[in-house]
Amino acid sequence: DTIKDNYKDIKKADEFLRMCGADPIGFASPFGVWNPSVGKALEKLGYKYSSH
C-alpha cells in the first residue's frame, strides 16, 4: 500500500471514531501488519503513537 492508500483508510476510520465521540491519538496495526507508509500516514494525521 502507498502512503496515500493508508492515509485514506486510516482517515476514514478516524472520522468514524470521531463521529462516535472518540478522540483517537494512537493506532494499533491490525494483525501487527506494518510498513513505513503506515507510519507516514499516521504522522500526517497527527497521531501521537502506534503499536509498532
**pTM of the full structure:** 0.86
Query: Per-residue DSSP letters for 4-45?
Result: HHHHHHHHHHHHHHHHTT----EE--GGG---HHHHHHHHHH
Per-residue model confidence (pLDDT) at position 26: 97
Q: How does pLDDT run across 7-48, given as a tens digit for each residue?
A: 999 999 999 999 999 999 999 998 988 999 999 999 999 999
Domain residues for 21? 3-50
Q: Give the count of domains, the chain.
A: 1
